[in-house]
Amino acid sequence: MNIGILALQGNYSQHKNIMDILGIQNILIRYANQLDKCDALIIPGGESTTMTKHIDNNNLRSHLKLFAKSNPIMGTCAGMIMLSNTISNKNMRPLKVMDFQIERNAWGRQIDSFSGNIDLTFENNQSLRGVFIRAPKICNIGNKIQVLGTYNSEPVLLTNGMHIVSSFHPEIGNDLRIHKYFINQVNETISTFN
């Protein structure tokens, strides 16, 4: 297994550290041809308008959309925004990979960053400490989307069975359960497509 980490902007280095800790081969992705070496991809948190600009400047948009049809992607914070089907504006154009919509920065501005307990449905509702930094809030969820985690009864962790997205930053802290869940999804997808 080789997991790519989109390294155009944002918090990609901490995702790389977690993959290294878990012993998962990984590669920092900046160009489309590098996706050919990957079984899955992580799109990190960062700034969604800047990420949009870099994705388009590097001619990655069509390659990422094609990659998403058969390979799992994990998106955190801005990565979640990029995977959503939120309506585009002139500065921010999501990839429209998953059927949900968000409101950007809805948990507050940078100064309002916080951490809180997230209830996970896949671990007997055991909680995980999540860090929210200018986090998107989910405002609409499609029929084929499953909620994997909530904060104060609001969905913050979603999957469509192949891809996974979070409003918070699971790469901050020592709890690796979200990344392990994603790796299990990658293993299932690899076995399905091989």
Enumerate the domain spans of the chain: 2-193
Q: Three-state SS across the chain?
A: CEEEEECCCCCHHHHHHHHHHCCCEEEEECCHHHHHHCCEEEECCCCHHHHHHHHHHCCCHHHHHHHHCCCCEEEECHHHHHHCCCCCCCCCCCCCCCCEEEECCCCCCHHHCEEEEEEEHHHCCCEEEEEECCCCEEEEECCCCEEEEEECCEEEEEECCCCEEECCCCCCCCCCHHHHHHHHHHHHHHHHHC
Res 32: pLDDT: 94
Whether the Cβ atoms of residue 136 and residue 103 lie closer than 8 Å to each other: yes
**Residues 71, 35: Cα–Cα separation, whole Å:** 10
Res 33: pLDDT: 95
Catalytic annotation, pick one of 15, 77, 163, 179: 77
Give domain 2-193's CATH architecture.
3-Layer(aba) Sandwich (3.40)
Catalytic annotation, pick one of 15, 38, 63, 171: 171
Res 20: pLDDT: 96
Catalytic annotation, pick one of 15, 63, 169, 179: 169
Q: What is the pLDDT of residues 2-52, one digit of tens each?
A: 999 999 999 999 999 999 999 999 999 999 999 999 999 999 998 888 999
Q: What is the pLDDT of residues 61-73, one digit of tens each?
A: 999 999 999 999 9
Query: Residue 43: CB partners within 8 Å, gap ≥ 6?
Result: 6, 51, 73, 74, 75, 76, 78, 79, 82, 83
pTM of the shown model: 0.93
Is 54 considered catalytic here? Answer: no
Which two three-digit tokens encode residue 162? 């192949």
Of 9-13, 60-64, 94-98, 100-104, minimum mean pLDDT range: 100-104
Is 188 considered catalytic here? Answer: no
Res 110: pLDDT: 67
Is 171 considered catalytic here? Answer: yes
**What percent of the chain clears pLDDT 70, i.e. is strictly above it?**
93
* Mean pLDDT, the chain, whole residue set: 90
Chain mean position to CA 163: 8
